[in-house]
Amino acid sequence: MHFTLFFLLSCLFLAFGGCKEKNVSSTHILKTSFFTDPSTIDPRKSADYLSSTVVCLLFEGLTRCVSGSEVKMALAEQVEISEDGKTYLFFLRPSYWSDGHPVTAWDFEKSWKTLLQPDFPSPSAYLLYPIKNAQRCSLGVCSTDEVGILAIDERTLKVELENATPYFLSLTAFPLYLPAPSHIDLPTCWWEDGRIDKIVCNGPFCLKEAKPHSHLTLKKNRQFWNPSSIFLDEIDIAIIPDEATTLQLFERGELDLVGGPFTPLPIEAISKKKLSLHSFPIAASTFCTLNVNQFPFQNPNCRKAFTLTLFDHPLIHQLIEQNDAIPALTLLPPSLETKSLTLMEGDREKGQHYLELALEEMRITKQDLGEITLYYKANPLDKKLAQAMQKIWEESLGITIQIEQMESKSLVQKLYSRDYTLALASWIAQFHDPINLLERFKDTTNPKNYPEWNNEEYRDLLYQASSSLNLQERELLLNKAEELLEEAAIIIPLYHWKSSLLVNPKIEGLKTTSSGGILIEGAYTIY
């Protein structure tokens, strides 16, 4: 396995449409839909897929993703890296915010240091931890003045790292690393009436209009540093939680792009339109997370009982395959997996055995377990999975599970606050390296360590892997860490994602990536 430079949205590009000669429309409008509102458009707070998609359309960073593992400079015209790989000097090109103010190195410094403040609500701040003293600052141990981020002048940004980090350039393309303007505060509730003009952007598009639970409209940003690369004049995003309605609008020609991570397609649509679907695996997964600090999952044998009875179950397989996803036989998505072995096999009898052990160790009966609730987001597949899991655990273990649907943003907050016992959650690789997903369980301060699991040996393995320059040794360390994670039974992998898209033939220039990014900005419409 090779651990070279990869991009957040990097790897395999698949272009839709060919190089046929066609009349190009004079006005380019792309109409798509999301199943729910983005939770934020502030780069410093982005975490979920929908928010990250909008952030990458509204903001531009030092680098941006191109084909394969290649790194393309964006606002950075040039970068100089020290021999020890620990110091980066970024030289910025002239560029402007949508209100005409220049984009400077100060914007990057202030943006990154702001999100590292302990009281700032940034769920992905850990992605800046390769930077010197970034983690200590986030924990409140040192001030932002001690963090290795310094604007030397208006156009020069110096970044010092804790250790050589081969994938650091790929991190700078992640939404979290995109700058927020330093001369104006982005609104907290960006969708409120009268606040749209307060949203200053430096990306390919600006926010023209937004109404919660209804729509967002983006317009081309005339101040963007590379306007000739952007062909779309407008992107209209309808908020449609119902998958059947979305499909009907697409079939009537009222939407140009549906499916994928934006809006799940109905099962019957996937089956019926298989030949016209653009489908490809991405580095993302859905899993069940078990809170190890909530009764009864403090007990490892109880976690194993729930895992063994559910994992690789035929009922789960059937649902997943109907939805054009990949049943999970490993913790990590296939493109990031380094182990040849699969997880332990599902085993109902072993599950019952581990439950008996757990009850004996906790000195309780099944009746003492009380009410256990499984939370899931308002997503059609997740709803069906929750119902199937409820049925499996009742039949296999004799335990009644309540299920409760929540809006995506509310569920994320519940996971961050650890206010749950069981929940369906997901992850998307932010850069192409297993450590990206494994490191979320390194310590309990990471908001995305949903189980709130803590293991010193696991943490040491990841620290060693982060600093190892020997690729073979590094792979062995990551394999061992993954085995510890499996043994702990803190998450139950359910499926790895495939992105299935339906695209109007009049839309060309769309590209997708192995980590799930749909690159809209290069699209255009034809007659």
Q: 489 pLDDT exceeds 80?
A: yes
pLDDT at 340: 54
Burial class (CB in 10 A: 0-12, 13-18, 19+), 73: middle
Match 């103010």 to its residue by tokens: 101
CA–CA separation, 485 and 441 (whole Å):
9
Pairing relationship of beta strands 278-290 and 491-503 according to DSSP bridges: antiparallel
Paired tokens of 66: 């191109």
CATH number for the region 284-498 comes to 3.10.105.10
Q: pTM score, two decimals? A: 0.72
Paired tokens of 116: 């590292």
Residue 92: in which H helix or E strand, if any?
A: strand 87-92
pLDDT at 280: 73
The dihedrals phi and psi of 61, each to the nearest 5 degrees, come to -110, -165
Percentage of the chain beyond pLDDT 90 is 56
- Are the beta carbons of 376 and 406 closer than 8 angstroms? yes
Cα-based angle 31, 49, 442 (whole degrees, multiple of 5): 175
Q: 8 pLDDT exceeds 80?
A: no
Paired tokens of 483: 């085995």
* pLDDT top residue among 344 and 184: 184
Q: Which residues pair with 89 in a beta bridge?
A: 80, 158
> Is cis: bond before 380, omega within 30 of 0?
no
Amino acid occupying residue 323:
N
pLDDT at 181: 95
Instruction: Choose among 172, 437, 458: nearest CA to 328.
Output: 437
Q: Which residues pair with 421 in a beta bridge?
A: none
CA–CA separation, 38 and 408 (whole Å):
9
The dihedrals phi and psi of 151, each to the nearest 5 degrees, come to -85, 105
pLDDT at 165: 84
Paired tokens of 230: 């952007």
Pairing relationship of beta strands 234-239 and 71-73 according to DSSP bridges: unpaired
Q: Got the DSSP string for 413-475?
A: HHHHTT--SEEEEEEE-SSSSTHHHHGGGS-TTSTT-TT----HHHHHHHHHHHH---HHHHH
pLDDT in tens, 29-56: 999 999 988 888 999 998 788 888 899 9
Query: Longest C-alpha distance within the chain, in Å?
Result: 74
Q: 138 pLDDT exceeds 80?
A: yes
Both ends of the chain: CA-CA distance in Å? 45
Alpha-helix residue ranges (DSSP H) falling in 258-313: 267-272, 300-310
| Arithmetic mean of pLDDT over the chain | 86
> Secondary structure of 126-151 in the HEC alphabet?
HHHCCECCHHHHHCCCCCHHHCCEEE
- Are the beta carbons of 23 and 526 closer than 8 angstroms? yes
Cα-based angle 321, 325, 331 (whole degrees, multiple of 5): 115
Cβ-defined contacts of 405-411 (< 8 Å, 24+):
405/375, 405/376, 405/377, 405/378, 406/375, 406/376, 406/377, 406/378, 407/36, 407/377, 407/378, 408/36, 408/39, 408/48, 408/377, 408/378, 408/379, 409/36, 409/37, 409/39, 411/375, 411/376, 411/377
pLDDT in tens, 385-407: 999 999 999 999 999 999 999 99
pLDDT in tens, 193-219: 556 667 899 999 999 988 888 999 999
- Are the beta carbons of 30 and 507 closer than 8 angstroms? yes
Q: 9 pLDDT exceeds 90?
A: no
Instruction: Choose among 398, 439, 206, 215: nearest CA to 305.
Output: 398
Q: How much is the average pLDDT of 127-150?
A: 95
Burial class (CB in 10 A: 0-12, 13-18, 19+), 269: buried
Q: 344 pLDDT exceeds 80?
A: no
- Are the beta carbons of 203 and 59 closer than 8 angstroms? yes
pLDDT at 92: 98
CA–CA separation, 355 and 406 (whole Å):
29
| Range picked from 86-90, 430-434, 461-465 for highest mean pLDDT | 86-90
Q: What is the dihedral of CA 102, 103, 109, 115, to 10 degrees?
A: 120
Q: Got the DSSP string for 151-178?
A: EEETTEEEEEBSS--TTHHHHTTSGGGS
CA–CA separation, 508 and 525 (whole Å):
6
Query: At how many degrees (to 10) do helices 348-362 and 300-310 cross?
Result: 160
Instruction: Choose among 141, 498, 92: nearest CA to 286.
Output: 498
Q: How much is the average pLDDT of 294-318?
A: 93
